[in-house]
């Protein structure tokens, strides 16, 4: 199975679609991944979350309210409830009835579309290890053989530690959004090959520190072409964006 192969040391494409391409379709839905493919995107990022029934769904928030017709904590939901929800009409009437996909369903669509992926483990509070264990097990058992191995990322050290243990040959990336003071110790302890960092934290000096340490640097969420061009000049490998078509030719 592809997920047993080493994915370390790769160079990713410059452009990665954020939650599919959430500037054009409801985030973390199959419609968003299909739109990414239509736009020529080769890699997408999305969020993996554990629900009460033990299933892993592709979903960002800790509650259902913002992006579905439901309400309440995602962690308390079972699959039958999740399947009954409309996850599209909040974005646009043309997406009415779009479902919340499971991770397994998403991987099947990625295989059909030839899309590689950065899977962010996005646990509900207090469910870091359980979410990571379930996500890694699904990737281990179901990742499509025709796709490159994924990148697994998280803001939570416990999640990355589980991935290190369960999928040691799959590339791990540490997500950073507000603190660049202790990243070296965390990257080393968790054997990460990359950092995915909020763009406002980047400077040419910070970029040099990352490169001297030997990690790949990718940044989120960038929708401005001039900013992307500057960061690429500094040596950024990839951006995660809602609007990948804005960056043609960079």
Distance CA 114, CA 110 (A): 6
Neighbouring residues of 212: CB distance < 8 A, sequence distance ≥ 6: none
DSSP annotation of 187: H
The residues assigned a catalytic role are 18, 60
How many angstroms separate the CA atoms of 173 and 156, rounded?
11
Instruction: Name every residue whose Cβ is closer than 8 Å to that of residue 138 and which is 6 or more positions away in sequence.
Output: 48, 56, 103, 104, 107
Q: What is the DSSP letter of 3?
A: G
Residue 154 three-state SS: strand
CA distances from 133 to 49, 158, 160, 164 (A): 11, 10, 10, 11
On whether the CB atoms of residues 84 and 75 are closer than 8 A, the answer is: no
How far is residue 200's CA from residue 181's CA, in Å, rounded to a whole number? 15
């Amino acid at each position: 199975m592809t997920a047993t192969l080493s994915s370390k040391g790769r160079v990713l494409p410059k452009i990665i679609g954020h939650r599919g391409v959430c500037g054009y379709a409801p985030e973390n839905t199959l419609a968003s991944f299909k739109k990414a493919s239509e736009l020529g995107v080769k890699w997408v990022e999305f969020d993996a979350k554990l629900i009460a029934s033990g299933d892993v769904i592709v979903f960002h928030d800790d509650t259902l309210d913002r992006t579905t017709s439901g309400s309440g904590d995602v962690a308390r939901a079972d699959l039958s409830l999740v399947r009954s929800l409309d996850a599209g009409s909040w974005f646009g009437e043309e997406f009415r009835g779009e479902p919340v996909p499971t991770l397994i369903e998403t991987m099947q669509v990625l295989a059909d579309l030839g899309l590689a992926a950065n899977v962010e483990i996005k646990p509900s509070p207090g469910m870091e290890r359980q979410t990571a264990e379930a996500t890694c097990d699904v990737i281990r058992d179901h990742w499509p053989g025709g796709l490159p191995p994924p990148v697994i990322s998280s803001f939570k050290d416990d999640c990355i530690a589980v991935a290190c243990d369960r999928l040691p040959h799959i590339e791990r990336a540490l997500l950073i959004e507000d603190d660049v003071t202790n990243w070296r110790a965390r990257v080393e302890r968790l054997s990460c090959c990359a950092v995915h960092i909020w763009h406002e934290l980047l400077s040419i000096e910070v970029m040099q520190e990352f490169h001297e340490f030997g990690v790949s640097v990718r940044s989120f969420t960038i929708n401005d072409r001039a900013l992307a061009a500057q960061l690429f000049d500094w040596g950024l490998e990839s951006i995660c964006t809602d609007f990948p078509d804005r960056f043609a030719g960079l």
